[in-house]
Amino acid sequence: MRRIAILAEGAFEWHYGKTATGVIRYGKDPVVAVIDSTKAGQDVSHALGAMLGEGIPVVHDINEALGYQPEALLIGIAPMGGALPEAWRWQILTAIEAGLDIISGLHVFLADDPELHAAAGKRGVTIWDVRRPPAKNRVAQFTPHRPGSHTVLIVGSDCAVGKMTVALELDREARERGLSSVFAATGQTGIMISGNGLPVDRIISDFVAGMVEEMVLDFTGQYDWVFVEGQGALNHPG
């Protein structure tokens, strides 16, 4: 458990801020502040207009967020194309210099950015690029799952329609009923929430099926119910 501040500058709302809202709702780590200067002064539930995150402040910038003693800064929005908006750089550098770990789901890897890499090394903090694909490649082998295990894949007609949320809710309900269940993350927000998973959209397409098969086999070996977050759809630009 570590205290998280979320950077969602200019985008803390349901659609473009889905990483932020997903982590606030389902994450294991407590969120102590959300950075969005356009909604500073509100609390999360007010900013979202929902019963979620009451008492969590929305603040103006990283300097204000540091007042809430965060231990990590999570990049809470994923711009189309996944690059780092340069306007965010100073906030990330400030967080690193204050000793915060960085958690990022951007396509561009912050740990490969010379300035951020050097700053993190100097301060001894880690940069977790959630979307970095595994070093190994693998094609599918059509291996049967463990008999008695159940795998449920959630698919949808577009992005941001709730595939991850449905998988998380089904897993939560199954565990509340005492079943052996797990959520299998395939996107950056799901990986941030569960702490592991596969960044499917960052994997070379030839190896997507094989890498997902390997993850699902690993989970079906350990759990009776595996709820797999789906990715993409016919209406999805990626």
What three-state secondary structure class fits 152?
Answer: strand
**Could you tell me which stretch among 31-39, 91-99, 163-171, 195-203 binds its own copies (CB under 8 A)?**
195-203
Do residues 29 and 2 touch, judged by C-beta distance below 8 A? yes
**Shortest distance (Å) from residue 235 CB to its own copies:** 9
Q: Which helix (H) or strand (E) holds 191?
A: helix 188-194
Does 209 sit near its own copies (CB under 8 A)? yes
> Cβ–Cβ contacts within 10 Å for residue 114, how many?
7
Q: Which residue, 10 or 210, has its beta carbon nearer to its own copies?
A: 210
Does 228 sit near its own copies (CB under 8 A)? no
> 186 vs 5, 179, 189, 210, CA distance in Å?
23, 22, 9, 13
Does 144 sit near its own copies (CB under 8 A)? no
Do residues 130 and 103 touch, judged by C-beta distance below 8 A? yes
Does 155 sit near its own copies (CB under 8 A)? no
Contacts to its own copies from residues 35-64, by CB under 8 A: none
Does 163 sit near its own copies (CB under 8 A)? no
Query: Residues in the site for its own copies, rule: CB under 8 A?
Result: 80-82, 107, 137, 139-142, 200-210, 232, 236-238
